[in-house]
Every structure is written in structure tokens, then in C-alpha cells.
């Protein structure tokens, strides 16, 4: 996903991927410059997952 230049919208509601999945997923998105819409609703991520997501959002400039 990090070098995919055609992925602009991603819906991952209710995936329950767990903390490792959350870390891996948001790490893989760090270099993606095409994604403009991400839905990640109803995913229990806990404190650690929230930290991963907030770090990702701090570095991301394409999501609207």
C-alpha cells in the first residue's frame, strides 16, 4: 500500500485486526501519497493503537 499510487479511498470499518494489525497497517500507509479518504470506524484499537494512528495522522498530508 505504501507505493500504490491509485488507491485513493479505503474503507476498513469493523475489521477487528488487533493491535499488531493496526501497527502494521498504519506503518504501511506512511509512504502512501495518494490516499485521500480512510474510514476506520468501529475498530477497537486501545491506547497503543490510538498512538499509532495519531503518529500516522501527524505525518500524513493527503487525507482530507
> Which tens digits make up the pLDDT trace of 21-43?
888 888 888 888 889 999 999 98
**Is residue 8 a contact partner of residue 34, using CB atoms and an 8 Å limit?**
yes
CB 44 within 8 A of CB 15: no
Task: Tell me the angle at which helices 46-59 and 18-28 cross, rounded to the nearest 10 degrees.
Answer: 10
Question: pLDDT at position 1, please?
Answer: 59
The cell for 21 is: 494489525
Q: How confident is the model at residue 2 (pLDDT cuts 50, 70, 90)?
A: low
Q: Does residue 48 sit in helix, strand or coil?
A: helix
pLDDT at 6 over 60: yes
The structure's pTM equals 0.74
Q: Is the pLDDT of residue 54 over 60?
A: yes
Q: What integer pLDDT is reported at residue 38 of this predicted model?
A: 93
Amino acid at each position: 500500500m505504501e507505493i500504490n499510487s491509485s488507491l485513493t479511498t479505503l474503507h476498513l470499518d469493523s475489521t477487528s485486526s488487533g493491535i499488531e494489525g493496526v501497527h502494521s497497517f498504519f506503518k504501511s500507509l506512511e509512504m502512501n501519497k495518494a490516499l485521500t479518504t480512510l474510514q476506520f470506524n468501529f475498530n477497537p484499537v486501545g491506547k497503543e493503537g490510538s498512538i499509532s494512528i495519531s503518529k500516522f495522522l501527524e505525518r500524513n498530508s493527503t487525507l482530507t
